[in-house]
Amino acid sequence: MNKLFIPKKINVGFQARQDTYTKKLAYVIYWDDKGKLRKEKSWNSWRNNKISPEEFENVPTDGFVLNKKAGGYSSGWNHRQTYCRVYDPRGFEFEITIPNLLFILQECNAYKGKGLEGEFVYAWDGTDLALLPAHCKEYQDSLKFTELQHKKVGVKDLVDGCFYKTKKNEKELMYLGKFNYISDDYGTRGQISKRHVFFDSKKGSGYSYGPKFIGTNSLTFLAEKITDTPSDEFSGRIEEFSKSKYSGTVKHLTKSMVKLNLPTENGSSYNYWGGYRKDRDTLKKKIGSHYLAEGDGVFRLYTIWCIRELKDKSRGYGYYKDDYNHEYKLTSSKIVFLKDGEMASRTSKLVDDKSYTDKEIRKMGFVNVSYALEGKNQKATA
């Protein structure tokens, strides 16, 4: 069982059900570490508003009883997986998954007519509820995991060479500093940007997966700083990073014109839009994100949007020129530039309410930007 989040308080909504001990079936949700009530929308749509919800402190409680199988049927498109109903001594029943049931039976005894032995708490694996025995090792691990979710690390807390623990409690990361970082992630592979760089101290031990060096602009995954003095390994890790595929000093840049994939203004664009529904008279599609030069080595990143509006609703699917209009919008919030061989960027929101035509967009001269790196054969893109 994964490490689970154990909230301090739960909120219980009900439906009236005749096939339960107390005639009430419950949907249990919780307040997360930020004080937000999770899954509140689906909870409200499921529960009977005529039955008042109840709040409980999520403390170890005994008296839970296994009741009956629920679900496990298929009626055409309507399939519901198998669950187990459990009685909560506070006067309601709820459902747990079969893997959760098997874990409970592995960790404690179940007595006929007397229920489950020991105390339990409600816990969550992502969005999935689990009933967790309070005497098992997983409970202690989950308490530590939950405690980490309340903590955070800010930019002012970052010290070169010190170690940090992640909220998943699975890694200890050494902070190296803020450098050019070449992404190896799917979808952004080869892109270079200035990021906070960490070294995964457990990489290569068989315990940790993923890249040895992690580049990020967000620190929300960090829980706490666990050392106060820089590691003796710090200088060696910096040198190792500088020689890795994730690091690069920019030698020079090259620009290449972008061939935009725009919908045609005459003929069918059905495949381009992936279908067209009669109840959607206006469609918005992201064409792509590309750059325009704003100065020597300074580029603004634009996202190009196409707005398609149906002219004649009676024509249905709109294959032909007289059935729809196209117009284009631009949004931008970032500028990238070179500074002493390092990539840098700054937030710079641009408000542009103008609508552009197909020809105007093509004439703007959007480019992609790539960089040659000092002492390396590889290239990187902005």
Could you write out the DSSP letters of every residue in 203-239?
A: BTTTSB-S-SEEEES--TTEEEE--SS--TTHHHHHH
- Residues 309 and 318: their CA atoms lie apart, in Å, by 10
What is the Cα 210 distance to its own chain's centre?
Answer: 17
Give the model confidence (pLDDT) of 213-271 as tens digits: 999 989 999 999 999 999 999 999 999 999 888 988 877 777 888 888 877 554 444 44
In terms of C-beta density within 10 A (0-12 exposed, 13-18 middle, 19 or more buried), how is residue 273 classed? middle
Under DSSP, the state recorded for 175 is: E
- Residues 189 and 185: their CA atoms lie apart, in Å, by 5
pLDDT at 267: 42
* Paired tokens of 311: 């002219």
pLDDT at 323: 58
Question: Other C-beta atoms within 10 Å of 261: how many?
Answer: 8
pLDDT at 45: 94
pLDDT at 341: 67
Q: Where are any strands of DSSP class E within 60-156?
A: 61-62, 65-70, 73-75, 78-80, 83-88, 92-97, 110-111, 115-116, 119-125, 128-133
In terms of C-beta density within 10 A (0-12 exposed, 13-18 middle, 19 or more buried), how is residue 358 classed? middle
pLDDT at 67: 83
Res 10 pLDDT > 50: yes
Give the model confidence (pLDDT) of 358-368 as tens digits: 889 989 999 88
Who contacts 47 (Cβ-Cβ below 8 Å, separation ≥6)?
13, 14, 15, 27, 53
CB 162 within 8 A of CB 227: yes
One-letter amino acid at 224 equals: E
pLDDT at 264: 57
pLDDT at 364: 92
Window from 113-117, 172-176, 268-272, 308-312 with minimum mean pLDDT: 268-272
Of 8, 5, 13, the closest CA to residue 132 belongs to 5
pLDDT at 161: 96
Helical segments of the chain, H only: 40-46, 98-107, 137-149, 234-242, 270-273, 358-363
The sign of the torsion formed by the CA atoms of 271, 276, 280, 282 equals: positive
Res 167 pLDDT > 60: yes
Tokens 């959760």 -> residue: 100
Average pLDDT over every residue of 183-202: 84
Under DSSP, the state recorded for 262 is: P
Q: Phi/psi of residue 240, each to 5°?
A: -65, -40
Give the model confidence (pLDDT) of 313-357 as tens digits: 554 444 444 456 778 999 998 888 877 767 777 888 988 889 998
Who contacts 357 (Cβ-Cβ below 8 Å, separation ≥6)?
327, 328
* Paired tokens of 193: 């940007």
Highest mean pLDDT range out of 136-150, 302-316, 331-345?
Answer: 136-150
Residue of 270 and 197 predicted with greater confidence: 197
pLDDT at 208: 46
CB 142 within 8 A of CB 121: no
Tokens 């839009």 -> residue: 273
- Residues 271 and 133: their CA atoms lie apart, in Å, by 53
- Residues 299 and 293: their CA atoms lie apart, in Å, by 4
pLDDT at 278: 44
Res 132 pLDDT > 50: yes
The sign of the torsion formed by the CA atoms of 11, 14, 19, 22 equals: positive
String of b and e for 150-189 (b: at least 16 CB within 10 Å)?
Answer: eeebeeeebeebbbbbbbebebbbbbbebbbbbbbeeeee
Question: Other C-beta atoms within 10 Å of 40: how many?
Answer: 13
What confidence category does residue 119 fall into, taking pLDDT thresholds of 50, 70 and 90? very high
* Paired tokens of 152: 């955070």
Average pLDDT over every residue of 2-29: 91
pLDDT at 312: 57
Q: What mean pLDDT is reported for the chain?
A: 83
pLDDT at 268: 44
Window from 28-42, 113-127, 267-281, 339-353 with minimum mean pLDDT: 267-281
Q: How far, CA to CA in Å, does 151 sit from each of 34, 202, 216, 220, 266?
A: 10, 22, 18, 9, 56
Res 78 pLDDT > 50: no
CB 321 within 8 A of CB 265: yes
pLDDT at 347: 86
